[in-house]
Structure 1
């Protein structure tokens, strides 16, 4: 690790976040906006990554990648070797060849269509799962280990398979509606932990009176880091 990477890693830790990926390994246009409490392992933040916001208390284990993705919500639990925003059109399928020799330092230009993936709040993504670009992963959902997610995932659904399909929902429809309406992830964490967290229905009765959370944010790019306004 060079001196610049060492400095910014320590700077990020001082601002209550963790990022194991060296900033020098970022793609030129990549920008991560991290809320307080984010913990990210050594993941690829490459040429397909542009601006990605990651919400408070979300963690992501190492060996995965952030590709064509715009946002990941708060309180997400993301396992190792997870790929979010896997490109669908990185290579042309209707040219003479699929190989990039055709548009690398030539007169031809391949403008691949890109639509970023988005991950809601409180999403649990198992080890080795892959979420394709353009997919919307709903709040409260669970993505099983090694699932291939090619379509939008409804809130509080549990999906598994290759390709992934809904196998069940975590709660009845009326409870899901109440959980989404509560927007509990916007409440102060220190007050949330005083609730009966083992009983979602009991928590819903008490969430409304809790104080809103206020988190500091930082921007991380290949050039370095800076503090943003509190939200």
Structure 2
């Protein structure tokens, strides 16, 4: 049965043009989420201290957001995706890898970690996994069930275990123009009016469209607030 406070915050979030299906009370006491308007997040497990999610990104249910610090705008993340899978949860240079060694023994093992970073306009297919410390460039595509262990260049399409670049979405000169345009900083309604099936024409039109700011809210187990 949904708690009254969870019901209240879910409605509060929806009134601000966002969706967050995970109950606020289920967040870790150490987790802070900063999400921009238009974000849609299903029922996901969140195990990261601080995460920012950019405008109009959606994350389907059954995902795990672990050691990941930021997800850009206009990202499409399918079900069962793991972002920031930890690599050093057990010691490799001790007697054993088992946690009995630092449970009630006076010894302490602290796993080191590096945050994963997801750029803008990234499409991640079903059940793909991105390891901690990996940077996925803007415009990249990660195929279903891929295991990403290394940085992914902007606008690259990667697939496999481990994932490798199989092609790029556009020629180098178009990629350079797309990155320079920073089109994800424009209002979504103005973008919809562009000939989006023709990137060259879009890039020409973008020059006359001003950049805009997106509203942002912060979500913690204690509740939610709007950020200036």
If the length of structure 2 is used for normalisation, what is the TM-score?
0.97
Q: Which residue of 1 aligns with 2:181?
A: 182
Partner-residue secondary structure (3-state), 1:98: coil
Displacement after TM superposition at 1:6 (Å): 1.5
Q: Which residue of 1 aligns with 2:152?
A: 153
- Describe how 1:12-161 pairs up with structure 2 within 5 A: 12-46=13-47, 49-161=48-160
How many angstroms apart in 2 are the aligned matches of 1:81 and 1:172?
A: 31
Which one is further off, 178-187 or 22-31?
22-31
How many angstroms apart in 2 are the aligned matches of 1:123 and 1:99?
A: 37
Aligned CA-pair RMSD: 1.0
Number of aligned positions between the proteins? 227
Displacement after TM superposition at 1:164 (Å): 0.2
Contact 1:189–1:213 (CA under 8 A) maintained in structure 2 = no
If the length of structure 1 is used for normalisation, what is the TM-score?
0.95
How many angstroms apart in 2 are the aligned matches of 1:67 and 1:106?
A: 28
Q: Where in structure 1 do 4 or more consecutive aligned residues deviate above 6 Å?
A: none
Unaligned runs of 5+ residues in structure 2 are none
Unaligned runs of 5+ residues in structure 1 are none
Displacement after TM superposition at 1:7 (Å): 1.5
Displacement after TM superposition at 1:97 (Å): 2.2
Partner-residue secondary structure (3-state), 1:205: helix
